[in-house]
Structure 1
Amino acid sequence: MTQKVREIMTTDLVTVDPLTSVINVAQLMRRDDVGDVLVVDEGRLVGVVTDRDLVVRVMAEGGNVGNHTVASACSKDMVTVAPDDDVDQVIGLMREWAVRRVPVVEGDRPVGIVSLGDLAIERDPRSALGDISAARPNE
């Protein structure tokens, strides 16, 4: 029997609206120990912003970081899956699109996220990535 996305997805999502300051987003990432935040407008998924996006799309540009909203830093072209999709499908999408995280949606509403770390813990917990993903966060 094939494993479904809902069996391994993380459901404790961190979300913000598009007009949220990138500084607030970075603080949320630190507080919740996450590397990505879902951007949601009226309950609909409209983007994903990662810690790398903040560095490459905002900080590297210089200037006053506080003037930027998450709308200017997030990826709007996203690969998504549904909760009842097969886990193997997510793995294929991650390879094809070279992404480390895939939002899980029902319609256009986010209900979870699957990360490369989630997959490593589930499929190969003794691998280096599985060990790292399962380890406590750095303080």
Structure 2
Amino acid sequence: MKVENVMITDMDIIDENENLEEVLKNSVEQGKGSFVVAKEGVNVGIVTTWDVLEAIAEGDDLSEVKAWEVMERDLVTIDPSASLKEAAHQMVNHVVWRLLVEKNDEIIGMVSATDIFKAKMSKRY
């Protein structure tokens, strides 16, 4: 099975200056665990609920912390035609839970470990 068969395409892109209080609110309301971060229309990072959790653990005021301060800047991408095995390999090698799916230098989706697990379970049962 290929990445393109399980990836999500309805990703939310947020501005680098959005605060973590808004990120948390959007995450809870939309049931999403990550957001692509853009600066002047260019994707520059990804912020996840784990980043928000870390800020809470540090005692930070979420309304004061901006996405750019906590986002992961090293975006790990994969081609939509890659296999799920390749995606899992990338995740393990880069110690990430999600990969951005990129085609022709454009982010077109995201695949998470959970997406891979669901695909594997559906093939088994």
1:55 lines up with 2:69 in the alignment:
no
TM value normalised by structure 2 = 0.86
State the percentage of identical aligned residues: 26
Q: Paired residue for 1:79?
A: 76
**Contact 1:81–1:105 (8 Å) recurs in 2:** yes
Unaligned runs of 5+ in 1: 128-139
Q: Paired residue for 2:2?
A: 4
Aligned residues: 124
Q: Which runs of 4+ in 1 moved over 3 A?
A: none
1:83-108 deviation per Cα after TM superposition (whole angstroms, max 9, x unaligned): 22232211111122222111112344
Q: Paired residue for 2:94?
A: 97
In 2, Cα distance between equivalents of 1:109 and 1:96: 23
Unaligned runs of 5+ in 2: none
TM value normalised by structure 1 = 0.79
**Contact 1:81–1:104 (8 Å) recurs in 2:** yes
SS at match of 2:32: coil
Higher strand proportion: 2
1:88-130 deviation per Cα after TM superposition (whole angstroms, max 9, x unaligned): 2111111222221111123443211101111111112388xxx
Q: Paired residue for 2:121?
A: 124
**Contact 1:44–1:108 (8 Å) recurs in 2:** no
Q: Paired residue for 1:136?
A: none
| Cα-Cα RMSD | 1.9
